[in-house]
Structure 1
Amino acid sequence: MEGQAQADLARDIFGNPFRPVDFASAWRTDTVLGIARELYASGDFTALPVLGDALQDAGCDDEAVLTHCRGAGPHARGCWVVDGLLGKA
């Protein structure tokens, strides 16, 4: 069980290294960045599905990004989607 939890957390932080995502500048709307900054600052990722909706509204159709945002997690500071949007990756 511990090994699985660690693997899940690693996927949250690193994503799929064999399929890197190019975070389009068009996705970085004020709404998307505001949500991402709040998630990062608070460490509370329960609103990650809201970020997924905002990304989709901004034109994101990347299935890996949207699925990750809407997935059960675990999610933590260092999340590859949030860090990618904020330029921390």
Structure 2
Amino acid sequence: MFSPAVARDVLGNPFRSVAVDPSWLTTNVLTLAAQVYASRDFSAMPILADALQDAGCNSAEILDHCRAPGPHVRGCWVVDLLLGKT
């Protein structure tokens, strides 16, 4: 059963759509996102936020979500968005 926190991690905010600027999808960002997705180790989410910010991301929704303590689970809306899984 989903807890509300897990539901927020997977669904994000249904009242705000967030788009990814293709310029944010650097090799570093995509590699980190793929590693998080494959390993299910979400401890690198703050590092992913830093990489996104270095790539020019200024989306508070994305950066705040990556830096939030979680929980983060497979299906995290940010990771899926970056990897084109949504």
Q: TM-score band, normalised by the shorter chain? A: over 0.9
Q: Where in structure 1 are there 5+ consecutive unaligned residues?
A: none
Partners of 1:68 and 1:10 in 2: CA distance: 13
Whether 2:41 is the aligned partner of 1:37: answer no
Q: Where in structure 2 are there 5+ consecutive unaligned residues?
A: none
Q: How much has 1:64 moved relative to structure 2? A: 0.6
Q: How many residues of Structure 1 are paired with residues of Structure 2 in the alignment?
A: 86
Aligned to 1:46, the other structure's residue is in SS state helix
Per the alignment, residue 76 of structure 1 pairs with 73
**Percent identity of the aligned residues?**
56
Per the alignment, residue 48 of structure 2 pairs with 51
Q: How much has 1:48 moved relative to structure 2? A: 0.4
Whether 2:11 is the aligned partner of 1:18: answer no
Residue-by-residue CA offset, 1:32-80 (whole Å, 9 max, x unaligned): 0000000000000000000000000000000010000000100011000
Partners of 1:26 and 1:17 in 2: CA distance: 24
Per the alignment, residue 28 of structure 1 pairs with 25
Partners of 2:82 and 2:54 in 1: CA distance: 15
Q: TM-score, normalised by structure 2?
A: 0.97
CA RMSD of aligned residues (A): 1.2
Q: TM-score, normalised by structure 1?
A: 0.93
Aligned to 1:8, the other structure's residue is in SS state helix
